[in-house]
Structure 1
C-alpha cells in the first residue's frame, strides 16, 4: 500500500485527503520558481500546500496560500503548521474571489497550478468551447487578481498543459501581463511535452524565451542531471 504522505528532506506532505497528490511536474514547478527577491508570495489553489512549502524552504518570504476545497484546505493547514516555517505560512480556506474582496497585500511572486484542462472538452475545439468552460473563468480570476495585486516588478508563475498554457498567454495580454519565459517539461528525452511552466510580468520583453527540461533520461527511469540538480535540495534520495 502506498504511503499517505510524501517525505521530503525538510518537510512532509500528508495527502490522503487531497484529490491532487504530489506529482513530479508540480515538484519541478516548485523548484524553478525564482523567489530570491520575494518578500511576499501568494500560492493560488495550494492543494496539499506543496508549492508553499517548497518556496518557504528557500526564502524568508511570508507566504499566503489560498484553497477553496475544505478537505484540501484542512490538510494544507496541517502540513504548513507542522513545517519548520509555520510562522510565515498563512492558509486561507476560501475561493480566490473571496480572498480578493478583503486582500490589501501586494505580492512579489504569485504562483498557481490550476487543475483545468480545456483540451478535454468534448467537441475537441478548445478555441470555440473555452469561452463556456469553467476553467476559463478561473484563468480570468487569476489574471484579474494578479493585475491588481502583483508588484510592479513582480512575477506570475503558472503550470499548465501546453494547450491551456497557450490560451492563458492569450488572455494575459488583456491584463497587461506578458509572457517572459516558457519552460517546456518533457516526461523523458524524446518523450512527450506534458507541461509548460510560464513566467509573466508587467514588462513586455523583446522576445519570450523558450527552454526545455526533461524529467528522465531516454531509459524512462533515470532522472536527468538537470532535473536532479533542481530537486536535490528536496528529494530524499538525490
Structure 2
C-alpha cells in the first residue's frame, strides 16, 4: 500500500504525515474484521493515526470509542483525523501510556495493533521504534492492561505478525483467555502467512465457540484482489 501523506476511505480520510505508523493493508483488514458490532464502549490501545478507531466507529455507530496513544505527534494526528470525520462525536483520544491510563469505567471491547518486534534490530528513528518495538509496551504489560480495563465478559482483538502472534496466544491462554476467532492473513495462495488476527474472551465465559479462518489479499496472479478481501473491505476502500 502506498505511503502517501494521506489515505482516503469512503467515509473518512487518514492524514498520516505526523505518525510513524502509516495506513497498511493488514490494519485495514483488522479494522474490518474485529468483533465490535455489539460493543458499547470500545478501547483502542496504540491508536496511531486513529485508523482503527474510525473504522470501528463506522461499523458501530452506537459505540463510544476511547483511543490511547503514547506518542504526542501521533496523538495529535489521531485527534485531527477523528475531528475531521463524521464520527467525531464517538471518539475521544488520550495522549498517555496505557499503563498509566485510568478511566472511570471499564470497556466491553478492546482493539489493539501493538508494538510487536520483541528483538529485531531497531531503526535510527525513535518514533518508528516507539511504534514498532515492544519496549514501550511488552506483551505482559499489554495483557495486564487488558485484564485491568476490560469488563469480565468483554472481548478483545489483536493484530500481530504470525510468529509473535503464536507467542502472544500462548501467553494469553496461560493468563486465562480463550481464543474465540482467528484469521490468518496471506498476500496470496502459496505465500507464507504474514499476520494473525485474534479475538479473545475470558475462559470463564460460557458457550464460546471458536472460528478459525484464512484470508488472501490477492488472487494467485498477485495483482487481482481476492473476492473475500473485496467483500471485507467494500465499505471502506474507494476502489471497491
TM-score over 0.5 (shorter chain): yes
Higher helix content, 1 or 2: 1
- 2:35–2:157 contact (8 Å) kept in structure 1: no
- Kindly tell me: are residues 225 and 134 of structure 1, through their superposed partners in 2, closer, same or farther at Cα, counting changes over 3 Å? closer
Equivalent position of 2:72 in the other structure: 70
- Please show how residues 94-173 of structure 1 align to structure 2 within 5 Å: 94-99=96-101, 102-118=102-118, 120=120, 134-135=134-135, 138-173=138-173
- Kindly tell me: are residues 11 and 207 of structure 1, through their superposed partners in 2, closer, same or farther at Cα, counting changes over 3 Å? closer
Equivalent position of 1:17 in the other structure: 18
- Kindly tell me: are residues 136 and 78 of structure 1, through their superposed partners in 2, closer, same or farther at Cα, counting changes over 3 Å? closer
Aligned equivalents of 1:134, 1:16: Cα separation in 2: 23
Consecutive unaligned residues in structure 2, runs of 5 or more = 123-132
Shift of 1:171: 1.4
Deviations 1:179-232 (A, max 9, x none): 222210001122220000011100367875421000111111111110100100
Equivalent position of 1:91 in the other structure: 93
- Kindly tell me: are residues 173 and 121 of structure 1, through their superposed partners in 2, closer, same or farther at Cα, counting changes over 3 Å? farther
Which one of 219, 222, 226 corresponds to residue 217 of structure 1? Answer: 219
Q: How many residues are paired up?
A: 226
- Kindly tell me: are residues 83 and 175 of structure 1, through their superposed partners in 2, closer, same or farther at Cα, counting changes over 3 Å? same
Deviations 1:104-138 (A, max 9, x none): 3211110111122236379xxxxxxxxxx945952
- 2:115–2:137 contact (8 Å) kept in structure 1: no
TM-score when normalising by structure 2: 0.87
Aligned equivalents of 2:108, 2:3: Cα separation in 1: 37
Equivalent position of 1:128 in the other structure: none
Consecutive unaligned residues in structure 1, runs of 5 or more = 123-132
- Kindly tell me: are residues 42 and 226 of structure 1, through their superposed partners in 2, closer, same or farther at Cα, counting changes over 3 Å? same
Aligned equivalents of 1:74, 1:206: Cα separation in 2: 38
Aligned equivalents of 2:4, 2:193: Cα separation in 1: 28
Equivalent position of 2:130 in the other structure: none
Equivalent position of 1:201 in the other structure: 201
Q: Give SS of 2:89's match.
A: helix
Shift of 1:162: 0.9
Deviations 1:146-190 (A, max 9, x none): 112212322110000111111111211343212222210001122
TM-score when normalising by structure 1: 0.88
Note the aligned Cα RMSD (angstroms). 2.2
